[in-house]
Structure 1
């Protein structure tokens, strides 16, 4: 459930070119707060995909060696980020296996963001990066996914209902993403200061 300062209503907007800079600012802030606790910090979710319609909420994935909840809650708390308590924000199933995770909301009054903390190298962390890279690479799927989300938000604007309907559609999308990954030789690569993931394909 959203915190008191957040809305339960879903609004999907056209892609905004300021989203990458918003991520970079968040990533720098998080890295400074976590020091050596973060192995990777990546821009994920729909705002990380140029041209894709999305909720105006920056999704950040932080990869850590292990999920030390007490330590992470303390570090994020120092910069005002709030741990989301719902069960679905504490664990997720990827490839038939359950993985622990933590999700932190931005401070009240700050730019809307969700920080997803996952174990570095886990299948659930890979899932988020593959979703992003596939939709960056495949324009047809990107356009179709954006149109689907806009229609869904228009007809089912409640956040919880929206998420429940979108989840099985995401599984269908990711089946196509896995085929694309196998065909192209996609793998995760890294670049510069914030360790934002890059697309790498085999020749």
Structure 2
């Protein structure tokens, strides 16, 4: 078993302990509060990569050199995976907390601030339309964009986990019980955690022993 100095089990630098989202804290972070329809999970759409390209083009046109990185993440970024018909994008800017330096230009391009989470790596969420997109804004050095890319790449190359994840998403959505995206995420969090642990353990650059939940 790999271990850190002192005999502690080794953990990957991107590892996080299992926990469910605090729905009260999530609600407090929302800028826009409005009724939502039940969560819908649809068949894979071959047009999703092109939809991401359009969102990325708009972000770069609006912010120019302030775009330090942009990536297609989430289920629409894994070919063959059922997903909510929303393009998830990670955007890295110099300082998410300095909203006047980037938010007005994104608003002028049609994006709207929906979530502000200073305690979560200064995460902001802006929503775009046509195509519908959730753009997650982080700063340099944030771990969450790297975790998202790791998860995406694992699902792209591991058919069994991709199938299991897709089946679970369909079963949860079929209940027609969830209108809140974070409540839906909590229902599938156990499998997301397990997939992350497998992906982290497979990284040859960092020893990692899976941790119990």
Q: What TM-score results when the alignment is normalised by the length of structure 2?
A: 0.74
SS of 2:185's equivalent in the other structure is: helix
Task: Give distance in 1, aligned partners of 2:141 and 2:149.
Answer: 11
Name 2:9's counterpart in structure 1: none
Name 2:135's counterpart in structure 1: 115
Name 2:167's counterpart in structure 1: 147
State the number of aligned residues: 173
1:3 deviates by: 5.7
Name 2:124's counterpart in structure 1: 102
Task: Give distance in 2, aligned partners of 1:35 and 1:159.
Answer: 35
> 2:73 aligned to 44, 50, 57, which one?
44
SS of 1:43's equivalent in the other structure is: strand
> 2:49 aligned to 13, 20, 27, which one?
20
Task: Give distance in 1, aligned partners of 2:118 and 2:85.
Answer: 24
CA contact (8 A) 2:168 2:188 kept: no
Name 2:14's counterpart in structure 1: none
Task: Give distance in 1, aligned partners of 2:33 and 2:111.
Answer: 12
User: Is the helix fraction higher in 1 or 2?
Assistant: 1
1:14 deviates by: 1.3
Larger radius of gyration: 2
Name 1:9's counterpart in structure 2: 38
Q: 1:3 to 1:26 in 2, by over 3 A?
A: farther
CA contact (8 A) 1:156 1:162 kept: no
Q: What TM-score results when the alignment is normalised by the length of structure 1?
A: 0.77
CA contact (8 A) 1:43 1:60 kept: yes
The one-character-per-residue Cα deviations of 1:127-163 (angstroms, maximum 9, x if unpaired) are 1111101101111111111111111111254132312
Task: Give distance in 1, aligned partners of 2:64 and 2:57.
Answer: 10
Task: Give distance in 2, aligned partners of 1:100 and 1:156.
Answer: 32
SS of 1:129's equivalent in the other structure is: helix
Aligned Cα root-mean-square deviation (Å): 2.1
CA contact (8 A) 1:53 1:146 kept: yes
Q: Which residues in structure 2 correspond to 1:1-203 (within 5 Å)?
A: 4=34, 7-67=36-96, 68-85=98-115, 90-91=117-118, 98-107=120-129, 110-160=130-180, 161-180=183-202, 182-183=203-204
Structure 1 gaps of 5+ residues are: 93-97, 187-203
Q: 1:13 to 1:170 in 2, by over 3 A?
A: same
Structure 2 gaps of 5+ residues are: 1-29, 207-213
Which structure is higher in RCO with an 8 Å CA cutoff and minimum separation 6? 2
The one-character-per-residue Cα deviations of 1:42-90 (angstroms, maximum 9, x if unpaired) are 11110000011100000111112221222222121111211013xxx52
